[in-house]
């Protein structure tokens, strides 16, 4: 991360990463999602969520530790980060799969959602990488957040949480297809109603420090025969990463 990026992340709790995906990788991801839409969705579907896309193909497994974003993950949660869970959303109109309410944040304290920065290094609980597979333009909706709320000492009033009528301080975060948003889950965030001419296609890859888990289930790296050593390490269950460790392997993943 550059000094500018570090300052802006500390200030607002998120960053937009331009060109996180190459044009070819973007094409591959969309082609595989097209297949899932054809198999899993009704023609009149307005919104849909898939949980656990790693079995869809290598382009989705490549996102475990994509070169263009890995430096951000390492700086925010450490070089021994783990992929906690992943899912994908499509929204064609209106509210997404979990509605339009702002959620998360630092108050009340949640041991999975924390943030601190001492001016030299970051400490985060769960963080999110959100990839745009389609353009998100001004006025379309999509990702929204209350900038700076990751450092708030007060709980957000319930009257401010609904994004159907978003508070004027809410950031409406845009970006072309191939861009990504990275944010700390200590940031109060949510999904604005979708008004775009095209559908919203979004991939969510959530990362945590090596000893922390939000999801109740863990990955089985042995389910895939094309992973690098670094990717296998990122799929390891939460632990202290001490030498000589052994432990059970849990198949599947449960994202709640």
**Sequence-separated contacts (24+) of 31-39 with Cβ below 8 Å:** 32/56, 32/57, 32/59, 32/60, 33/88, 33/90, 33/133, 33/201, 37/90
Counting as low any pLDDT under 70, the low residues of the chain are 247-256
pLDDT at 249: 52
**Which tokens sit at 176?**
């072309």
Q: What architecture (CATH level 2) is domain 3-234? A: Sandwich (2.60)
Give the SS3 label for residue 59. Answer: helix
Per DSSP (E only), the strands in the chain are 14-17, 47-51, 82-91, 115-117, 122-124, 127-132, 142-145, 171-172, 180-184, 189-192, 200-208
pLDDT at 248: 57
Q: What is the pLDDT of residues 156-212, one digit of tens each?
A: 999 999 999 999 999 999 999 999 999 999 999 999 999 999 999 999 999 999 999
Q: Is the pTM of this model over 0.85?
A: yes
pLDDT at 136: 98
């Amino acid at each position: 991360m550059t000094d500018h990026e570090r300052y802006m992340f500390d200030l607002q709790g998120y960053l937009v990463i331009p060109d996180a995906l190459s044009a070819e990788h973007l094409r591959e991801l969309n082609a595989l999602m097209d297949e899932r839409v054809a198999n899993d969705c009704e023609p009149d579907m307005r919104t849909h969520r898939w949980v656990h896309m790693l079995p869809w193909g290598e382009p989705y497994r490549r996102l475990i530790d994509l070169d263009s974003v890995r430096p951000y993950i390492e700086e925010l949660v450490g070089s021994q980060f783990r992929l906690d869970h992943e899912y994908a959303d499509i929204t064609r109109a209106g509210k997404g799969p979990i509605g339009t309410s702002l959620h998360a944040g630092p108050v009340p304290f949640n041991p999975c959602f924390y943030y601190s920065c001492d001016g030299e290094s970051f400490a985060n609980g769960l963080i999110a990488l959100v990839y745009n597979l389609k353009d998100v333009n001004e006025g379309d909706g999509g990702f929204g957040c209350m900038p700076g709320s990751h450092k708030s000492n007060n709980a957000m009033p319930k009257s401010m949480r609904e994004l159907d009528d978003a508070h004027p301080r809410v950031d409406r975060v845009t970006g072309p297809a191939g861009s990504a948003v990275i944010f700390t889950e200590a940031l109060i965030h949510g999904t604005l109603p979708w008004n775009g001419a095209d559908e919203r296609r979004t991939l969510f890859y959530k990362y945590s420090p090596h000893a922390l888990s939000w999801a109740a289930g863990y990955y089985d790296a042995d389910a895939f025969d094309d992973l690098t050593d670094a990717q296998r390490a990122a799929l390891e269950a939460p632990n202290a990463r001490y030498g000589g460790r052994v432990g059970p392997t849990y198949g599947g993943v449960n994202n709640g």
